[in-house]
Structure 1
Amino acid sequence: MLDKITDRVVEALVSTPSFALLPNLRRLEWLDDRKCFLPLLCTLLVPTITSIRLGDDDLYNPWLSKSALLASLGAQCPSIRELDCVYNGYSDEFSDAISKAVCDCHELVYLKTGVLNAQALDHLASLPSLKSLHFRLSYVDKPPTNSIPIFTSKLDELSITATSHTSFTQCFRDVRFLSCRSVVLSIDSDWMNPDEPYDPLDIPDLIVAFSECFSPALEQLQVNSEFEYDDENILNDHRFAFSFDVIAPLLQFSRLTKLDLNWLCTSNVDDKAFKIMVQSWPQLEEFHFGSGYRWLIPPSLTFTGLIHLIHHCRHLHSIDMRFAACSIDDDSEPFSTTLPNHRITRLFVGFSPIVDPMAVACQLHALLPNLTHVIRHEWVDEYNREVTFDEEWIRVNEYLQVLAKGAVLREKIGEL
């Protein structure tokens, strides 16, 4: 609508006292990035506002961080409960201004913004009202703070974006979240190393720091680290494969319902270690484990590992994992003691190796009666590379379709 407002209209609106213009304004969404409308925005910022959205992730507003408006936002609108103000970048000026505004907000429930300084984090940690927090970490390593902010309020969701895994590690050493239900960690893909997805030496410290930062009350953990590495030298590099010991610090989070570690290469985790892991997460509903990228390192997990997961996590409805699919002895444990799971309708296997597709399909149908097909990776590049074990998994899906139709027919016959 602002495209249709002329300068004369803006002048007329600005000259009108704000209390007369919109006396009961509660919610303001300002998605324009032109500086010429700043006076109108200033006019609209009234004490009655409880929800403000300024710009979005894709807008670039250098003038906003330089204006006194942003820093005075909390003082002008003291009743703010929801504040969404994201700067597309890592400007120190914006960080200082939005941090000043945040420190003047005492009733925040929801905050989505960019980089916050230590003072702002200290203030947010003291707010019992805060339920949802989304912010970025600076791309420049900061010196350790003298005090550690401790968030005692029960956060329903926390989302942090960083430029590297080491930035997360430092953050988790400098802050504590004693009661957080859901955590989403995202790596800014624009800053990712073009040569490798992560430094393998950084990951153990990151997981330890995370386990010390959050309490066992955590229910959801998701790590977003998008990259499209198709270099087979990287995807087949064993330095990126982690074993049980690296992931073990996460076992304390026994209330997890969603765990997304798809970014990790988990090829060194075997069935025995995997059983210990899934026994620690009995409430899992969604599980994503090492299948997010096209890793070519053969998995140590086998079909037995998948059975352990189904056996110990009875609430599951979605699984993403790599494993070596093969026929097993259905008269012995754990297969013989595992009840079918009717909830699971999604199974993603990445580039999982497979032998004996018919046996694998029959085992899957016995354990997951409502699974009608298996999803897998494909190569999306100009080389038209052959997908490993593609034909075998196609046959599995064909068998699953037949088995599912047979099950439906049996039910119909049973109703006669």
Structure 2
Amino acid sequence: MHRALLVPEILLIIFKYVTDDSGNPLLPTLAAIARTCRPFQRQVEGILWYKLPNISALYNILPTQVRKRESRSWSLSRRMLSGSDWTQFVDRASRVRVLAENTGSCHGQYERCLAIFLAMVALRDPLLLTPNLRKLEWQPSHLSLNPAINLFISPSLRSLEIDAKLFINHVIRFPLEYICPKLEHLKITGNGRSAANSISSVLRGLHCLETVACSTMDNDAFIHLAQLKRLSYLAVDMRWSLLNLDALHDRLPPGSFPSLQTLYWKDYSLDSLADIFLMPEISPSNVHLEIESFCTSPSLRTFLHSFTEQFPNTRDFSLIHDVEAGRRFGVPVGAPRREHQLDACDLEPLFALKSLRVLNLEDLGYLQLDDDLIKTIASASPELEKLGLGMNGADPMPTSVTFDGLLSLLEHCPKLQSLGFCVDAEDMLSFSDTTVRHHRVMHLRLEGSILGSRRADVNEMLRRVLPGLRTVEESLDGVTWRVREMGATRMSVADEPTTGRRTRNSLESARNR
């Protein structure tokens, strides 16, 4: 070994230069180290087994005498679960800290995998395969695998993400407060309204929760959460919940939600969403709101005025219309109508939030995106880091934000990192003498024929104004889009064309490139 450095110190040096972004991906490199250098083996295996994408990796390292059974109906004896091979399996399984069973595990081995894991569940004294597991995400594509979740719920568990129906059928029967007394993060997705009382009973027994995302709960569970001293994140879906905010108004004790920082609230419309103003005890700094309908100008202005009065210290604000919600229930999504025309005057109450860092307004209606709106936001929110003003799920209006509006935003908001709207690039070269330099924005959307006719001049302008720019999503006609990667001295075209109306997923994939 090295005379001055210990094994962990040498590993840290290696990890500093070997990442998934480099030419040598991290995990294959670590696996090679584990095979070729014995002193590194134990430390490297701890990293390789730290997080598993599904349970097929555990299946593949089961002892031969266990895996060789291919019949669906067979019994598993304790004798099979012994010996040096089983000891080695237990050693590796005990290193697993994160398990995300949500990708359709086992693939072609599914039948054998299912038989083995369900046989383990059926033992008189059930096994605990991952005794040191900290985080479990259980959303298997094969419903018949659901009972196997009991092999992974342990006292060491800190985080659990699970579907409501699975939670009702396979977890709720056990006293979770005793099995997982240290549980800090709980996310229950989907509609659990049919068992709302049972789910609420489980919530009331958990006292260490720091983040809760639950589609269904009753008033008593909500009051219990309000008294948790470490609860910092709360997500509620009022569409499936049994909460009665009118009845809660007088029951919440003083000092409720003392550590709450982030509130995520879903409801049908702005009218029903306004019920959150019945809870003056809640004062989060990050608020994400989601509705299922377009907004009219008066309703949006009234809501935002009440919101800024009750939550004046908001730093992150998001109000989104989930246009896909109707499709999930077989209701076609309609286009915004005349009464859904929105402009800067409707957003004026938001400009009173002087500490605003994130502003995201999506699919609320026909929002008039122009330079006046962008300049107003820029002057009112100098701390802004992320700005999203888009129509990703419904037919968008043509953009009227020019390069002049973009320069004003870059100049007034030095911390800006992300832009969620398109810029008309036709007149951008007329600002060639600008002194604005902004290093944090890494992705930009541009539209205009000038992107084809004067490509070299556009590239030079972008490099000068936005030296940190990595990708440009562009369109010459507003129909066909492509993503270009910015290099230090040149720009190359990535083979990622998209035609027609852009969806929210295509937008996110482009931003992440």
2:348 aligned with 1:348: no
What is the identity, as a one-letter code, of the residue corresponding to 1:122?
Answer: I
| Counterparts in 2 of 1:244 and 1:213: CA distance versus 1, 3 Å | same
Q: Please list the CA deviations of residues 115-173 of structure 1 after superposition, one character each: whole Å capped at 9, or x if unmatched.
A: 22233222222222112333322357956235265754334544334455544333354
How many Å separate the matches in 1 of 2:440 and 2:146? 55
Partner of residue 243, structure 1: 343
Distance change in 2, residues 1:220/1:85 (3 Å): closer
Q: Is the 8 A contact 2:296 2:365 kept in 1?
A: no
- Tell me: higher relative CO, structure 1 or 2? Use CA pairs within 8 A at least 6 residues apart: 1
How far off is 1:323 after superposition? 4.5
| Count of matched residue pairs | 363
Task: Determine which of 284, 287, 292 is the counterpart of 2:384.
Answer: 284
Q: 1:139 to 1:36 in 2, by over 3 A?
A: closer
Q: What is the CA-CA distance between 1:295 and the residue it aligns to?
A: 4.1
- Which letter does structure 2 place at the counterpart of 1:368? L
Pair 1:49–1:367, CA change in 2 (3 A): closer
**Which of 460, 473, 483 is residue 375 of structure 1 equivalent to?**
473
Residue 99 in structure 1 maps to residue 200 in structure 2: yes
CA distance 1:296–1:78, change in 2 (3 Å): closer
Aligned-partner residue type, residue 178 of structure 1: S
2:158 partner amino acid: S
Contact in 1 for aligned 2:321/2:364 (Cα 8 Å): no
Which one-letter code corresponds to 2:275 in the other structure?
Q
Q: Distance in 2 between matches of 1:160 and 1:60?
A: 23
CA distance in 2, matches of 1:265, 1:243: 10
Q: Which amino acid is the alignment partner of residue 184 of structure 2?
A: E
Contact kept in structure 2, 1:87 and 1:114, CA below 8 Å: yes
Cα distance in 2 between the residues matched to 1:292 and 1:169: 25
Show the 5 A alignment for 1:84-123. Answer: 84-93=186-195, 95-123=196-224
Deviation of 1:25 (Å): 7.0
Residue matched to 2:375:
275
Q: Relative to structure 2, which stretch is displaced further, 282-291 or 28-37? A: 28-37
Q: Offset at 1:325?
A: 3.8
Query: Unaligned stretches of 5+ in structure 2?
Result: 1-112, 492-513
CA contact (8 A) 2:363 2:394 kept: no
| 2:357 aligned partner, one-letter code | T
Q: Is the 8 A contact 1:238 1:297 kept in 2?
A: no
Match of 2:437, SS state, is: coil
Alignment of 1:304 onto 2:404: yes
Sort the Cα spacing of 1:404 and 1:310 in 2 relative to 1 into closer, same or farther, 3 A: farther
Render the CA deviation track for 1:262-305: whole Å, top value 9, x for unaligned: 33456435433432322222222222122535645344543322
Query: In the TM superposition, what is the alpha-carbon distance from 1:239 to its structure 2 partner?
Result: 3.4
Residues 267 and 301 in structure 1, CA contact (< 8 A), matched pair in contact too = no
CA distance in 2, matches of 1:363, 1:112: 45
User: Matched residues in 1 for 2:470 and 2:132: separation?
Assistant: 52
Residue number among 262, 284, 299 corresponding to 2:362 in the alignment: 262
* C-alpha distance in 1 between matches for 2:424 and 2:133: 56
- Take 1:112 and 1:143, find their aligned partners in 2: how far apart are those partners? 18
User: TM-score if structure 1 supplies the norm length?
Assistant: 0.67
Q: Give the AA of the match of 2:259.
A: K
Structure 1 residues 34 and 49, CA, compared in 2 at 3 Å: closer, same or farther? farther
The DSSP-based 3-state class of the residue aligned with 1:144 is helix
Indicate which of 272, 276, 282 corresponds to 1:177.
Answer: 282
Could you tell me the TM-score, scaled by structure 2's length?
0.56
Q: Look up the match of 1:73.
A: 176
5+ residue gaps in structure 1? 378-386, 407-416
Deviation of 1:113 after TM superposition, in Å, equals: 2.2
CA offset digits 1:366-389 (Å, max 9, x no partner): 422444653157xxxxxxxxx844
Q: Secondary structure at the match of 1:375?
A: strand
Question: Matched residues in 1 for 2:411 and 2:232: separation?
Answer: 34
Tell me how large the CA RMSD over aligned residues is.
Answer: 4.7
CA distance in 2, matches of 1:343, 1:54: 34
Separation in 2, partners of 1:227, 1:6 = 36
Match of 1:147 in 2: 249
Partner Cα separation in structure 2 for residue 294 and residue 337 of structure 1: 35
Which amino acid in the other structure matches residue 268 of structure 1? Q
- What per-residue deviation string (whole Å, max 9, x for no partner) do you get for residues 329-350 of structure 1? 957xxx866521132221124x
